[in-house]
Amino acid sequence: MATITPQETDILLVVDVQNDFCPGGALEVPDGDAVVQVINGLIDRFAHVALTQDWHPPGHQSFASSHAGRQPFEMIEVAYGPQTLWPDHCVQGTPGAAFHEKLFTDRAEMIVRKGFRPEIDSYSAFYENDRKTATGLAGSLRERGFRRVFAAGLATDFCVKFTLLDAAAEGFEAFLIEDGSRAIDLEGSLAAAMDEMKAAGVSVVQSPAIGG
Ligand code: VGL
Ligand code: ZN
Protein backbone atom coordinates (compact mmCIF):
# COMPACT_ATOMS: atom_id res chain seq x y z
CA MET A 1 0.00 0.00 0.00
CA ALA A 2 1.59 3.23 -1.14
CA THR A 3 1.98 5.85 1.55
CA ILE A 4 4.12 8.29 -0.43
CA THR A 5 3.00 9.74 -3.75
CA PRO A 6 5.82 11.48 -5.60
CA GLN A 7 5.11 15.15 -6.24
CA GLU A 8 6.45 17.71 -8.68
CA THR A 9 8.78 18.95 -5.91
CA ASP A 10 10.31 15.49 -5.30
CA ILE A 11 13.42 14.12 -6.96
CA LEU A 12 14.79 10.58 -7.04
CA LEU A 13 18.57 10.63 -6.71
CA VAL A 14 20.14 7.40 -7.98
CA VAL A 15 23.56 7.09 -6.39
CA ASP A 16 26.52 5.44 -8.13
CA VAL A 17 24.84 2.44 -9.78
CA GLN A 18 28.04 1.75 -11.70
CA ASN A 19 29.74 -1.46 -12.79
CA ASP A 20 32.65 -1.13 -10.36
CA PHE A 21 30.22 -1.22 -7.41
CA CYS A 22 28.40 -4.28 -8.73
CA PRO A 23 29.51 -7.94 -8.37
CA GLY A 24 32.64 -8.48 -10.48
CA GLY A 25 33.57 -4.79 -10.24
CA ALA A 26 36.69 -3.27 -8.68
CA LEU A 27 34.92 -2.21 -5.47
CA GLU A 28 32.02 -4.59 -5.47
CA VAL A 29 29.19 -4.04 -3.06
CA PRO A 30 27.67 -7.36 -1.98
CA ASP A 31 24.44 -7.88 -3.96
CA GLY A 32 24.95 -4.40 -5.44
CA ASP A 33 23.25 -5.19 -8.74
CA ALA A 34 20.04 -6.12 -6.89
CA VAL A 35 19.27 -2.40 -6.67
CA VAL A 36 18.85 -2.07 -10.43
CA GLN A 37 15.42 -3.67 -10.66
CA VAL A 38 14.14 -1.79 -7.62
CA ILE A 39 15.45 1.52 -8.91
CA ASN A 40 14.08 0.98 -12.43
CA GLY A 41 10.66 0.51 -10.83
CA LEU A 42 11.11 3.72 -8.85
CA ILE A 43 12.24 5.71 -11.90
CA ASP A 44 8.82 5.06 -13.44
CA ARG A 45 7.11 6.53 -10.37
CA PHE A 46 9.05 9.79 -10.04
CA ALA A 47 8.51 12.82 -12.26
CA HIS A 48 12.14 13.86 -11.75
CA VAL A 49 15.27 11.72 -11.63
CA ALA A 50 18.97 12.57 -11.26
CA LEU A 51 21.95 10.22 -11.27
CA THR A 52 25.29 10.46 -9.55
CA GLN A 53 28.44 8.95 -11.02
CA ASP A 54 31.68 8.37 -9.14
CA TRP A 55 34.25 9.69 -11.62
CA HIS A 56 37.91 9.59 -10.63
CA PRO A 57 40.98 10.49 -12.66
CA PRO A 58 43.69 7.79 -12.81
CA GLY A 59 45.94 7.99 -9.74
CA HIS A 60 43.24 9.53 -7.55
CA GLN A 61 44.32 10.19 -3.96
CA SER A 62 41.62 7.82 -2.62
CA PHE A 63 43.23 4.87 -4.41
CA ALA A 64 45.50 2.69 -2.25
CA SER A 65 47.66 2.24 -5.35
CA SER A 66 48.57 5.95 -5.15
CA HIS A 67 50.28 5.43 -1.76
CA ALA A 68 53.37 3.24 -1.50
CA GLY A 69 52.93 0.39 0.97
CA ARG A 70 49.21 0.99 1.53
CA GLN A 71 46.40 -1.49 1.04
CA PRO A 72 42.75 -0.97 0.11
CA PHE A 73 40.44 -0.32 3.07
CA GLU A 74 43.21 1.16 5.24
CA MET A 75 42.73 4.69 6.53
CA ILE A 76 45.19 7.52 5.99
CA GLU A 77 45.34 11.20 6.94
CA VAL A 78 45.04 13.63 4.07
CA ALA A 79 44.76 17.43 4.07
CA TYR A 80 41.09 17.34 5.07
CA GLY A 81 41.33 14.53 7.65
CA PRO A 82 40.92 10.74 7.61
CA GLN A 83 40.36 9.07 4.25
CA THR A 84 39.64 5.41 3.55
CA LEU A 85 41.80 3.99 0.76
CA TRP A 86 39.99 2.08 -1.98
CA PRO A 87 40.93 -0.21 -4.83
CA ASP A 88 41.21 1.74 -8.11
CA HIS A 89 37.59 2.18 -9.18
CA CYS A 90 35.32 4.28 -11.38
CA VAL A 91 38.19 5.68 -13.42
CA GLN A 92 36.86 8.26 -15.88
CA GLY A 93 35.82 6.72 -19.17
CA THR A 94 36.42 3.08 -18.19
CA PRO A 95 33.77 0.33 -18.32
CA GLY A 96 33.86 0.17 -14.51
CA ALA A 97 32.72 3.78 -14.31
CA ALA A 98 29.78 3.20 -16.65
CA PHE A 99 26.28 2.81 -15.27
CA HIS A 100 25.00 -0.77 -14.91
CA GLU A 101 23.80 -1.69 -18.38
CA LYS A 102 20.28 -2.49 -17.17
CA LEU A 103 19.85 0.78 -15.27
CA PHE A 104 17.18 2.83 -16.98
CA THR A 105 19.05 6.11 -17.44
CA ASP A 106 16.97 7.69 -20.24
CA ARG A 107 14.80 9.79 -17.96
CA ALA A 108 17.67 11.20 -15.90
CA GLU A 109 17.53 15.00 -16.05
CA MET A 110 20.96 15.49 -14.55
CA ILE A 111 24.11 13.48 -13.92
CA VAL A 112 26.23 14.70 -11.02
CA ARG A 113 29.82 13.53 -11.41
CA LYS A 114 31.95 13.53 -8.29
CA GLY A 115 35.44 12.67 -7.11
CA PHE A 116 37.05 14.22 -10.19
CA ARG A 117 39.49 16.41 -8.23
CA PRO A 118 42.71 14.37 -7.88
CA GLU A 119 43.27 15.35 -4.24
CA ILE A 120 39.69 15.24 -2.90
CA ASP A 121 37.38 12.25 -2.65
CA SER A 122 33.64 12.86 -2.76
CA TYR A 123 31.13 10.51 -1.21
CA SER A 124 28.29 13.02 -1.04
CA ALA A 125 26.64 14.36 -4.18
CA PHE A 126 26.50 17.77 -2.44
CA TYR A 127 29.90 18.33 -0.79
CA GLU A 128 33.25 16.69 -1.39
CA ASN A 129 35.12 14.98 1.45
CA ASP A 130 36.83 18.22 2.51
CA ARG A 131 33.22 19.13 3.45
CA LYS A 132 33.74 22.55 1.82
CA THR A 133 33.85 22.05 -1.93
CA ALA A 134 30.30 22.16 -3.27
CA THR A 135 29.21 20.18 -6.31
CA GLY A 136 26.45 22.69 -7.09
CA LEU A 137 23.66 20.17 -6.57
CA ALA A 138 22.06 21.98 -3.62
CA GLY A 139 21.75 25.20 -5.59
CA SER A 140 20.43 23.40 -8.62
CA LEU A 141 17.76 21.53 -6.65
CA ARG A 142 16.73 24.69 -4.78
CA GLU A 143 16.60 26.75 -7.96
CA ARG A 144 14.32 24.14 -9.51
CA GLY A 145 12.02 24.17 -6.48
CA PHE A 146 12.63 20.65 -5.16
CA ARG A 147 11.75 20.06 -1.52
CA ARG A 148 12.19 16.32 -1.02
CA VAL A 149 15.17 14.15 -2.00
CA PHE A 150 14.71 10.37 -2.20
CA ALA A 151 18.00 8.49 -2.53
CA ALA A 152 18.74 4.89 -3.50
CA GLY A 153 21.85 3.16 -4.81
CA LEU A 154 25.39 2.31 -3.74
CA ALA A 155 26.67 2.27 -1.18
CA THR A 156 24.24 2.83 1.69
CA ASP A 157 27.02 3.41 4.22
CA PHE A 158 29.17 5.74 2.07
CA CYS A 159 27.86 7.72 -0.87
CA VAL A 160 24.15 7.28 -0.11
CA LYS A 161 24.63 8.17 3.55
CA PHE A 162 26.73 11.28 2.98
CA THR A 163 24.38 12.44 0.22
CA LEU A 164 21.34 12.15 2.49
CA LEU A 165 23.05 13.78 5.49
CA ASP A 166 23.95 16.73 3.28
CA ALA A 167 20.48 16.85 1.73
CA ALA A 168 18.99 17.15 5.22
CA ALA A 169 21.58 19.75 6.26
CA GLU A 170 20.74 21.76 3.14
CA GLY A 171 17.10 21.91 4.19
CA PHE A 172 15.61 19.23 1.96
CA GLU A 173 13.39 16.52 3.37
CA ALA A 174 15.58 13.47 2.95
CA PHE A 175 14.50 9.85 2.44
CA LEU A 176 16.58 6.69 2.23
CA ILE A 177 14.96 4.03 0.04
CA GLU A 178 16.46 1.16 1.99
CA ASP A 179 15.59 -1.79 -0.26
CA GLY A 180 16.92 0.15 -3.27
CA SER A 181 20.36 0.47 -1.64
CA ARG A 182 23.15 -1.90 -0.62
CA ALA A 183 26.12 -1.41 1.72
CA ILE A 184 29.87 -2.04 1.67
CA ASP A 185 29.68 -2.57 5.48
CA LEU A 186 33.26 -2.13 6.70
CA GLU A 187 33.47 -2.88 10.43
CA GLY A 188 29.86 -2.11 11.29
CA SER A 189 29.61 0.91 9.00
CA LEU A 190 26.09 0.01 7.85
CA ALA A 191 24.58 0.00 11.36
CA ALA A 192 26.43 3.22 12.19
CA ALA A 193 25.21 4.83 8.97
CA MET A 194 21.57 3.92 9.69
CA ASP A 195 21.86 5.45 13.18
CA GLU A 196 23.51 8.59 11.83
CA MET A 197 20.89 9.08 9.14
CA LYS A 198 18.00 8.58 11.54
CA ALA A 199 19.58 10.98 14.06
CA ALA A 200 19.87 13.60 11.30
CA GLY A 201 16.17 13.30 10.48
CA VAL A 202 16.48 11.18 7.36
CA SER A 203 13.35 9.02 6.91
CA VAL A 204 13.86 5.37 6.02
CA VAL A 205 11.32 4.01 3.55
CA GLN A 206 10.86 0.89 1.42
CA SER A 207 10.16 1.05 -2.30
CA PRO A 208 6.66 -0.58 -2.15
CA ALA A 209 5.54 2.37 -0.01
CA ILE A 210 6.17 4.73 -2.91
CA GLY A 211 3.29 4.98 -5.35
CA GLY A 212 3.11 6.70 -8.69
C1 VGL B 1 31.81 4.98 -2.93
C2 VGL B 1 33.76 4.41 -1.88
C3 VGL B 1 34.49 5.09 -2.82
C4 VGL B 1 30.32 4.88 -2.97
C5 VGL B 1 32.53 5.68 -3.88
O6 VGL B 1 29.72 5.08 -4.05
O7 VGL B 1 29.71 4.60 -1.90
N8 VGL B 1 32.43 4.37 -1.93
N9 VGL B 1 33.86 5.73 -3.83
ZN1 ZN C 1 35.05 6.55 -5.38
Instruction: Dump pLDDT digits (tens) for 90-129.
Output: 999 999 999 999 999 999 999 999 999 999 999 999 999 9
Quick one: which ligand is closest to 29's CA? 1
Name the residue among 193, 138, 197 with its Cα closest to residue 171: 138
CA of 159 to the centre of ligand 1 (A): 5
What is the Cα–Cα distance from 81 to 129, expressed in whole angstroms? 9
**For range 83-94, the mean pLDDT:** 98
Decide if pLDDT at 76 tops 70: yes
What topology does CATH give the domain 10-55+89-209? Answer: Rossmann fold (3.40.50)
What is the Cα–Cα distance from 148 to 75, expressed in whole angstroms? 34
What is the Cα–Cα distance from 208 to 37, expressed in whole angstroms? 13
54 close to ligand 1 (CB < 6 Angstrom): yes
Query: Given phi > 0 = left and psi -120 to 50 = alpha, else beta, which region is 95?
Result: alpha
- Residue 44's contacts (CB-CB under 8 Å, 6 or more residues apart) are 212
CA of 39 to the centre of ligand 2 (A): 21
CA of 196 to the centre of ligand 1 (A): 17
Give the model confidence (pLDDT) of 137-172 as tens digits. Answer: 999 999 999 999 999 999 999 999 999 999 999 999
- Confidence class of residue 2 from pLDDT cuts 50, 70 and 90? confident
Query: Which one of the listed residues 114, 121, 157, 166 is annotated catalytic?
Result: 114
- For residue 181, the cross-strand partners are 153
Quick one: which ligand is closest to 85's CA? 1
Give the model confidence (pLDDT) of 14-41 as tens digits. Answer: 999 999 999 999 999 999 999 999 999 9
Rounded CA Rg of the chain: 16
22 close to ligand 1 (CB < 6 Angstrom): no
88 close to ligand 1 (CB < 6 Angstrom): no
- Confidence class of residue 1 from pLDDT cuts 50, 70 and 90? low
